[in-house]
Chain A
Amino acid sequence: MNGNDPRGKDGTGEGSSPDDDLSARLKRLEMQIDRKRPPAASDPSSRPDRGQPSSLGIAMRLSTEFVAGVLAGGLLGWGCDHLLGTKPWGLIVLLVMGFAAGIYNVMRVSGFFPAADTKKGPPGS
């Protein structure tokens, strides 16, 4: 679960030690900088332009999320039918699932699940 898993990304022996070292050094530097910095300017996420994306941006973001969900479901269903010969049930079932996934995406992006997804929901599009 920790991000400093010893297995590196490419497994070429560029292992954990430089990575851990870098993490530790960055953290130390961050702490030192934070101590010297005036507290008001320290949090970039509190800048006014970050918190409120334009409504067009939100609309664009939400609609692509929804459409992408339906498209993914439809593609999966079509592929399923094509490969397994389950025509037309794969398409029907997975299209409905895609619809659900689209709604789920939209709910997640619009911050419907506040506790589970504090990191989701970037500042609009």
Chain B
Amino acid sequence: MAVKMDPIHQFELKPLVSFGHIGHQHIAFTQSALYMFLAVGLIALLTIWATKSRAVVPGRAQSLAEIFYEFIGQTVHQSAGHGSERFVPLVFSLFMFVLLLNLFGMIPYAFAVTSHIIVTFMLALVVILTVVIYGFMAHGTHFLGLFVPPGVPGWLKPLIVVIEVVSFISRPISLSVRLFANMLAGHIALKIFAGFVPALLAAGVWGILSPLPLALSVAVTALEMLVAVLQAYVFATLTSIYLSDALHPGH
């Protein structure tokens, strides 16, 4: 007998509250939105409630919040350098949001919001729009010097500028695709490896092999935990590298 195996099913959006239609588009409050609200709520709890006492010697919850914030502050400072303090809240929010959504996705039966490219692309768009808007506000047209690397011979300049522009536009794409692809691939792999266990058990004598995929899926779970944290960190690091272009164009 064949056990039903559908690794894509977990990414389906399920509307919880429907608001009707706009055109042909169904507008609804989905479980994806619910998870996002949960993540924001948990972050708010961590940052507002935990630091409410403002103790000089922090308690457990407060020191947890401080560790996260200082970690991101350090990352931003290292990558974006001087004057980047004003972006720490932005990067911190993005990091915590992505981190919590990734980790929520690791809970069995939970939904991985970051495995939908529209979510990660919107996050990347926030980053890149911040870079562009802040770059123009702080440096005016000088910001466009970002697209003209120094030390390029004159006849090559038009070509290089076009390539630089395309390269710049590819940034939000690579930022979002990386996070989305990692989460999607990880969850599908996990589902497939775990699906081998009942499939082997159902196949009679092959059942003696079933501990192998079980051990493998445990290992993949551990790997996915690592990926969930690492991808949030990579998102934050790349964000601060892109922000450093807005702060110091033409370095």
Contact = CB atoms under 8 A, between A and B. Distances in A.
Interface of A: 1-5, 7-9, 11, 19, 22-23, 26, 44-45, 57, 60-61, 64-65, 67-69, 71-73, 75-76, 94, 97-98, 100-102, 104-105, 116, 119-120, 122-125
B84 to A, nearest CB: 7
A19 B174 contact: no
Contacts of B86: 8-9, 19
B174 A68 contact: yes
A68 B171 contact: yes
B237 A119 contact: no
Contacts of A4: 82-83
A120 to B, nearest CB: 7
Given A69-B167, A122-B237, A3 B248 contact: yes
B244 interface: yes
A116 B251 CA distance: 7
A60 B83 contact: no
30 contacts: A1-B139, A3-B81, A3-B82, A4-B83, A8-B86, A19-B86, A44-B74, A60-B178, A64-B174, A64-B178, A68-B173, A68-B174, A69-B170, A71-B170, A72-B166, A72-B167, A72-B170, A75-B169, A76-B166, A94-B166, A100-B163, A101-B166, A101-B167, A102-B170, A104-B164, A105-B174, A119-B244, A122-B241, A124-B234, A125-B182
B132 interface: no
A125 B178 contact: yes
B170 A7 contact: no
Contacts, number: 110
Contacts of A68: 170-171, 173-174, 177
Interface of B: 74, 78-79, 81-86, 134, 137-139, 142, 149-151, 162-164, 166-167, 169-171, 173-174, 177-178, 181-182, 230-231, 234, 237-238, 241, 244, 247-248, 250-251
A-B interface, 8 closest residue pairs, ranked by CB to CB distance from nearest: A3-B83, A68-B174, A72-B170, A101-B166, A101-B167, A68-B170, A68-B173, A122-B237
Contact of A119 (B79, B142, B149): B79
A101 B163 contact: yes
A98 B181 contact: no
Contacts of B82: 2-4, 23
A122 B247 CA distance: 18
Contacts of B250: 1
Given A71-B173, A72-B170, A105-B170, A64 B181 contact: yes
Nearest to B74: A44
Given A2-B83, A64-B178, A119-B244, A98 B166 contact: yes
A23 B166 contact: no
Nearest to A22: B85
Given A3-B247, A3-B248, A119 B81 contact: yes
Contacts of B237: 122-123
A116 to B, nearest CB: 7
Contacts of A116: 149-151
A43 B150 CA distance: 30
B74 A64 contact: no
Nearest to A72: B170
Contact of A97 (B151, B166, B177): B166
A121 B178 CA distance: 15
A11 B138 CA distance: 10
Contacts of B149: 116
A21 to B, nearest CB: 11
